[in-house]
Amino acid sequence: MVEHGAAPAAADGETRSPRPPAGGLGARLVRRKPVERLVAEGGHGENGTLRRSLGMWQLTMISIGATLGTGIFVVLGEAVPDAGPAVTLSFVLAGLTALFSALSYAELAGTIPVSGSSYSYAYATLGEIVAWVCGWCLILEYGVSVAAVAVGWGEYLNELLDGTIGVTIPDALAAPPGEGGLFNLPALLVVLLAMAFLLGGARESARANTIMVAVKIGALLLFCAVAFTGIRAGNFTPFMPLGMAGVSAAGATLFFSYIGFDAASTAGEEAKDPKRDLPRAIMLSLIIVTALYVLVAAVAVGAQPWRGFEGSEAALAGIMNDVTGQSFWGVLLAAGAVVAIASVILTVLYGQTRILFAMSRDGLVPKVFSRVHPRTGTPRANTLIVSLFCGGLAAAIPLGALADATSIGTLFAFALVNVAVVVLRRTRPEMPRTFRVPLSPLLPAVGFGFCVWMMGSLDAVTWSVFGIWMAVGLVVYFGYGMRRSRLEAAPAQAPAEK
C-alpha cells in the first residue's frame, strides 16, 4: 500500500519522483534523480561526450592543484592577525573539518562517479531543491574562489617583476576599486590564461597542472629550508594571543584553503576508473596538502613576529627577503607562487565548468553549459562564459570579501555531503561502494557539526552576502530551473542498473 503523495517504488529499487500533477509543488521540490540515471548519463552532454582520459595520479594532482597554495600563498596574511602563532592550530582545525567531509566525498565519489560533485550527490539523495541550493553554493565556492585566488596572483607577480626587472604594475592596474586601483589587470589575465589551457582539453590541462604542482611543492619546501634558519622562539609567544575565538575565526577563513580537495570529484566523467581512483585521489591529496600547510605555517610564524603579517598578501616572499637579507630568495619564491596560484586557478575553474555542465544536463541551467566541442571533447562555451565572469570578478572585487564568501558556500555544500552519505546508506544499502566512511553515521555527523561550527565563526557581513546569494538562487530556480528540469518532462524515466 502506498501512502497518499508518496512516490511509487520502481522495479530497480530506486524511488522515482512522482509526476508533477500527483504531488504538486512539494513533490516537485523533493523529487530525486535515480543514481542509475545519473551514472548512465555520465559523460553525455547536449551534443557530444566528455573523454575519459584521467588516471589516479592526474586526479590527485587536480585536487592538490586546486588546494595547495591558496591558503599559504594568499590567505595566510589574512589569518595570522586573527590567531597569532596559533594559526598552525587553525590549519589543523580547518583540515579536520575538511577530513570528515572528505571521507563522505570519497564514499559518494566512488558510488556516484559523475561530474556534478556534491550537487549530483544531493540530487540522488535529498531532492531537487536541496541539489539546486548545493549547486548554487558550488557556483559561489568554485567561481568566486577563482576570482579570489587571481587577486593574490597579482601580488606575487608584482613581487617577481620588482625583483627581476625593478618594475611593478601600477596600482591603478593591479588593484581593484576600493584598494587604490581601478582595475586588477593581472587577475584578469591569469584567468584568461587558465581558460586557454582548459579549451585545449582535459588531458592537456592535467599535464600542465601536474608540472605546476611539482613547481609549487618545490617552492614551499624551499621556503621551509631557508626560513627555518630565521626561526626565533620568541615569535611563538604568546602562542594564542587572541584565544580560541581567534583560532576558530582564522580556521574559518583558512577553510578557504581546502576548497579544492573535492576537485577530483568534478572529474568523475573524465576519469578512466572513477569508482576506484576518485576516493584514493581525494584522501591522498588532502593528507599531502594538510601536512604542507601546517609545516609552512609553523616556519612562517617562527621566522616573523605575527603582527608583521597584517595586510600582507605576499607574506612568504617577504619573510624570505627578511631572513636572508637578499632579494634573490624572495624572487625565487615569488616565481614559484606565480606558478602555484596559476595551478589553483586552472583546476578550480575546471571544477566550476564541470558542475555547471551537470546542472545544465539536468535542465536547471541553460543548455549552452552542456554543449561539448566535437574536437576537444570539452564544454567550450561553458568554459568561455565562466572564465569571463570569474575574470571580471577578480578585476573588480577585493580579496578578503571574496575569500570569506567562498568559505561559507563551501562549508554549506560540505555539510550537505555529510548528510547525503547517511541518506544513501539508508535508502540504497545494497549499492556497491568502493570506499565506505568508517563509523557511519557518527563520522558524517561530526563532519556536519564541524561545518556548522565553522560557518558560525564567520562574520555577519559574510552571512548577509550568503543570504542574498541564496535568495537570488531561489529566484532563479523557481523562475527557470524547476520548470525546465529534465525530471519535470520525464520523471519516471531511469535506466535500470547494469
Q: Write the secondary structure of 153-182 as one string of H (helix), E (strand) and C (coil).
A: HHHHHHHHHHHHCCCCCCHHHHCCCCCCCC
State percent of the chain over pLDDT 70. 87
Confidence (pLDDT) at 418: 93
**Cβ atoms of 67 and 261 closer than 8 Å:** yes
Which residue is listed with cell 535508502?
427
| Residue 300 falls in which region: left (phi positive, over 0), alpha (psi -120 to 50) or beta | alpha
Residue 30 or residue 403, greater confidence: 30
The pLDDT of residue 19 is above 60: no
Length of the chain in terms of residues written: 498
Angle value at C-alpha 195, between 253 and 143, nearest 5 degrees = 30
Q: Which residues contact 371 (CB under 8 A, 6 or more apart)?
A: 45, 46, 47, 48, 379, 380, 381, 382
Confidence (pLDDT) at 30: 79
What residue ranges define each of the domains in the chain, with the CATH number in brackets? 25-489 (1.20.1740.10)
- The cell numbers describing 488, all together, are 519535470
In one letter, which amino acid is 178? G
CA dist 21 and 39 (Å) reads 27
The pLDDT of residue 144 is above 80: no
Flag the least confident range among 327-336, 461-470, 487-496: 487-496
Backbone angles phi, psi at 49, to 5 degrees: -125, 150
CA dist 43 and 40 (Å) reads 9
For 252-276, what is each residue's pLDDT tens digit? 778 777 777 778 888 877 888 888 8
For 418-477, what is each residue's pLDDT tens digit? 999 999 999 888 888 888 999 889 999 999 998 888 788 777 888 888 888 899 999 999
- Is-above-0.85 flag for pTM? no
Confidence (pLDDT) at 10: 40
Confidence (pLDDT) at 165: 83
* Nearest Cα to Cα of residue 328 among 83, 121, 112, 164: 164
**Cβ atoms of 259 and 64 closer than 8 Å:** no
CA dist 368 and 249 (Å) reads 40
Residue 144: C-alpha distances to residues 150, 348, 478 (Å): 10, 10, 23
**Cβ atoms of 115 and 135 closer than 8 Å:** no
How far, in whole angstroms, is CA 406 from its chain's centroid? Answer: 9
